[in-house]
Chains A and B, each alone.
Chain A
Amino acid sequence: MPRHDSISLGELNDSQFYILAALVQPRHGYAVMQLLLEVPNQMVHIGPATLYTTLHKLVDAGLLERCASEGVSKVYVITPDGYSRLENEIARKRAMVAFAEQLVGSMR
């Protein structure tokens, strides 16, 4: 089992999180890339090579599915499993931020 494959462990890494979120509605691979390039304030960079491997990993893990393909481009969309994982992850990240904000706020 590769070390960096964290999908099965229940925790999504940043690339997986952004890509799942981008696919709550069906999009082509390149449309996901375009969307991620437009993420505000450049807080995230997901490279195209990473995007491609992550899409495949998420499909293999059952969190995404291919719903259509037009020639070269495939259309991906989140599965119910993927959706619940995404929601869990949002809740987890929110709790992390709330914890840190509370501590930082008490220092001011």
Chain B
Amino acid sequence: MRTPQRILPITRREIRSGLAFAEEHDLQRLARLAAEGWRLVEIRGLYMVLEKAPPEQFVFAIDYQATPDPEYFEVCATAGWTHVISVEQHIHLFCAVPGTPSIFSANDAIVKYERAARMFARPALWSSVVFAVGISAVLLSGTTWLVSKFDDGVLTAIDLVGFILVILGGTMLIFTALPWSAYRLRASGYALQWSRLVYAVVFAGCGACIGYFVGAYITNAGW
């Protein structure tokens, strides 16, 4: 007996550019993909997962609201904006047919960036604290003041904990402080067209620093 063949949906993945840095770019890309017959079904980490669907003309919009109630989506639907997907209950993606009046009032579109920046402010602060504590531990473990007080085992432990905190805090900073600063810039009216490049360089730089520290620590070549 032949088993019935399961028909899997045809999917494709696209790397997100990071909404804080390239919102316009990603929204235009979604519109282009929708016209080519690809429908967004999931945002997973740094990826967007799209599924084959009939081609449709859509425009997309992003809004930031911390855990909105269902009324939010109802009001948006009344104005012609269909909810597509939400990321972590904070970032909400909508689509509408071209020509639908904007999801924001005139002069009000940048206020959403203040809300977005506020969402990242606290995590960015905590990452900075972790990072600062780590850096201090690493630096202090080499000072004569600490060396005179503790034996080698304790110093190595302080050094190791500091190192772990630096890596952890540094990584967290990339995903909190960078978006926070980008949203702050947007909220004060910058278009962030070219600064995307600046952010890419900063991102790569931070990654390289962390890589260098890990490498230096593992090979014990000193800082």
Contact = CB atoms under 8 A, between A and B. Distances in A.
B71 A49 contact: no
Nearest to B111: A4
B81 interface: yes
Given A30-B78, A47-B101, A47-B108, A2 B114 contact: yes
Nearest to A36: B79
B65 A73 contact: no
Given A29-B71, A52-B71, A74-B71, A15 B78 contact: no
Contacts of B103: 47-50
Interface in A2-58: 2-4, 14-15, 29-30, 32-34, 37, 45-53
- The bracket for how many chain A residues form the interface is 20 to 34
A72 interface: yes
A32 B104 CA distance: 15
Interface residues of B, number: 26
Contacts of A73: 71, 74
Interface in B57-77: 61, 63, 65, 68-72, 74-77
B102 interface: yes
Nearest to A72: B70
Q: Is the interface of A mostly helix, strand, loop or mixed?
A: helix
B71 A45 contact: no
**B76, B103, B108, B115 — most chain A CB neighbours (10 Å):** B108
Nearest to A32: B75
A37 B74 CA distance: 15
Interface string B65-108: 10011111011111101000000000000000000011111101
Interface of A: 2-4, 14-15, 29-30, 32-34, 37, 45-53, 72-74
Given A47-B101, A48-B103, A50-B105, 20 more contacts: A2-B114, A4-B114, A14-B105, A29-B71, A30-B71, A30-B75, A30-B77, A33-B79, A37-B79, A37-B101, A45-B105, A47-B104, A48-B75, A48-B76, A48-B78, A49-B72, A49-B103, A50-B104, A52-B65, A72-B69
Interface of B: 61, 63, 65, 68-72, 74-79, 81, 101-106, 108, 111-112, 114-115
Q: Which 10 A-B pairs have the closest CB atoms?
A: A48-B79, A47-B104, A50-B105, A30-B78, A48-B76, A72-B70, A33-B78, A49-B63, A47-B103, A48-B75
